[in-house]
Amino acid sequence: MTQELQELISVLKGHRVYIQTHNFPDPDAIASAYGLQVLLEHFGIITIICHHGIVERAATMNMVSEFKIDMTTDDDLIYMSENDYIVNVDSQKGNANIRDLIGKEVAVIDHHPVFTEIDGYLFKDIRMVGSCSTIIADYFRKNEVEMSESVATALLYGLKCDTHNFTRGVKNLDVEIFSYLFPYANHQLIRRFQSGEIFYKEVNALADSLKAVEIIDGVAFAFLDFPCPDAFIAMISDFLMQIEEVFFSVVFCHRDGGFKFSVRSEYDELDAGRIISDALVGIGSGGGHKSMAGGYASEEKLRRLSTDYGKIIQHLFLNIIHSKQNNK
């Protein structure tokens, strides 16, 4: 057994363990939690996967249903206590996209940059790779743990989703893990998941979203003025990057007394995670990778700056983007 896995098992042994994903989990978060659950069970540690929010995308629902992944929302965690242990996957405590639960966060496995150092973890495995699924699959590979077709398929699908079919954030380890998972995965299932990524009812919402797009100096802004799940915001942000004139996208909508953001960047020098973190200082928080990131801003704090939310958000992002372009 590798030292890192031995350390994780040593931390968790003898405790009731929950695996917590970020809110409104996507395929990479769910695949990572599922793979880790199966891996830990192999070593005698039983876990419960939990999260805040619903599983939103059609393809993600299909994956959960197909592999019979037991996902528990925080509203149903009636037995969790402050003595229970939590492993954060594809997320880190303190971030805007994960709810603080009553249990004790003792371990983190993630592939997002650390913008604010959080104390308290007894085990950390944070690697700058394309997906969290890559890290979980690497545990199976290095420790020679047999992997079922379901786990391999879920992890490969998570890897493909978070790297946008190997077009963003890909590192050497992602390529190695793709080769490792490929022979064990059900590729027909992955094609089926990918072919059903949007509900029919979302088509009109997509059309309305495109009417709200404003492009300023290569930066596309879209305010989605209707109830909008996280995954849909991310989908619009990805879609805007396909416009020839666009190299950076900022999509946002109302959420829980504030605004939820999804941003994308075409250029490494315009680090999406760093830009959203800087843009939301004092009004919220954000972070992520160079090519993709997310965040949340308080409506009350934005109101102190201006009641014209669209214009002030454009101003906050463009100021930072322009300053980085001028410093090249």
Sign of the torsion formed by the C-alpha atoms of 105, 107, 111 and 115: positive
Whether residue 197 is predicted with pLDDT greater than 70 in this model: the reply is no
CA-based nearest residue to 26, from 253, 183, 197 = 197
Q: DSSP label at 53?
A: S
- CATH code 1.10.10.60 for 202-326: no
The pTM of this model reads: 0.79
pLDDT, tens only, 222-235: 998 877 777 788 88
Sign of the torsion formed by the C-alpha atoms of 230, 242, 156 and 117: negative
Lookup: tokens for 199: 């509900």
Q: How far apart are CA 45 and CA 37, in angstroms?
A: 8
What's the rounded mean pLDDT across residues 41-58?
90
Whether residue 27 is predicted with pLDDT greater than 80 in this model: the reply is yes
User: What does DSSP say about strands 292-298 and 284-288: parallel, antiparallel, or unpaired?
Assistant: antiparallel
What's the rounded mean pLDDT across residues 118-124?
88
Lookup: tokens for 105: 């966060």
Q: How far apart are CA 65 and CA 54, in angstroms?
A: 14
Fold matches, 3-195 and 202-326: no
Residue 236 banded pLDDT, cuts 50, 70, 90: confident
Check residue 7 and give its pLDDT.
97
Check residue 198 and give its pLDDT.
60
Residue 200 banded pLDDT, cuts 50, 70, 90: low
Lookup: tokens for 156: 């490969």
Task: Taking each helix axis as running N to C, give the angle between helix 187-195 and helix 149-162, from 0 to 180 degrees, rounded to the nearest 10.
Answer: 40
- At the top level of CATH, which class does the domain 3-195 belong to? alpha beta
Residue 196 banded pLDDT, cuts 50, 70, 90: low
Q: Where are the beta strands (DSSP E) in 93-147?
A: 104-110, 123-126
Check residue 103 and give its pLDDT.
95
Indicate the domain borders of the chain.
Answer: 3-195, 202-326
pLDDT, tens only, 145-187: 999 999 999 999 999 999 988 888 899 999 999 999 999 999 9
